[in-house]
Amino acid sequence: MTSAISGTSSSQSAGTGSKAGAAATSLGANFDTFLTLLTTQLKNQDPTKAMDTSEMTNQLVQFAAVEQQISMNGNLEKLISLQQAAQLTAAAPLMGKQVEVESDKLALQDGVGRLRLPAAGAATGAIVTVTDANGRTLRTQDVTLGSNATEWQWDGRDGNGNTLADGAYAYSVAGYDATGASQAVSATVLARATAAERQSGGDLKLVLGGLTVGFDAVRSVGGE
C-alpha cells in the first residue's frame, strides 16, 4: 500500500510567495523614479525660491510606510506557508489508519465499501441504497439494526453481480420502525486514509482512496 502527503505544487507555492517580492520590486522602481525626479528638481531649482521640503518629506514617509507593509506581508506569507507544511506533517500518522467520516459518499477500497449504522432506537431497520454518478441504483439491502452500532459492508458488486471499480459512490439510508413507518437514520463512512493533500485554495483534505473529505468530517480514527 502506498500513502502520500502532498501540498500545493512548486509553481503554486512560488506564485503565492512572490506577491510580496513583486510588490517590493515595483516599489523600488517607483522610489528610484521619485529620487531621480527629486534630484532633477533640486539641481534646477531657483536659489532665490527654494523648494518646499514638506511635500518631499511626506512622500518619503509614504514610501517608508508602504515598504514596511510589504515586508509585513512577506513575513505573513512565510508564516502561512510554515503553518500549512506543519498541518500536512501532522496528518502523516493518519496514513493507513481506518477513519470514520461524515460523507454522502462511501469509499470503495479494494472491492469493499463500509458504513457504520447506529444502534436500534426509533428505527429498527434501514434500507441502504448505493448509486453511481448517474443516479443508477447499484445495490439495495435491508439491514436489521441491533443493540449496538452495525457495520454494513458492500462487496463492490452491482445487482447483476458485476464487480465495480474502486472509487466514491453515493449512498442513502432510509430507516423504518417496527410498524414500517419511516424513521430518520444517519450513517458514517468507514475507510482507510491513503493521502493528505492541500488543494489550490489552501484547504487541507484527507483522501480515502477515491473519496476526498475535509478534516472537519473526521469523527474517529481507528487501527490499520
At residue 211 the predicted structure's pLDDT band, cuts being 50, 70 and 90, is: very high
Domain range for residue 8? Answer: 4-94
The pLDDT of residue 2 is 39
- Give the residue among 131, 121, 110, 71 at the shortest CA–CA distance from 210: 110
The pLDDT of residue 34 is 65
Q: Give the tens place of pLDDT for each residue, 83-95.
A: 666 777 778 888 9
Are 22 and 51 within one domain?
A: yes
Residue 125 one-letter amino acid: G
Are 33 and 141 within one domain?
A: no
Total domain count, the chain:
2
In angstroms, the CA 86 to CA 139 distance is 41
pLDDT over threshold 70, residue 47: no
The pLDDT of residue 15 is 44
Are 104 and 64 within one domain?
A: no
As a whole number, the mean pLDDT across the chain is: 81
Classify 10 as helix, strand or coil: helix
Mean pLDDT value across residues 143-147:
94
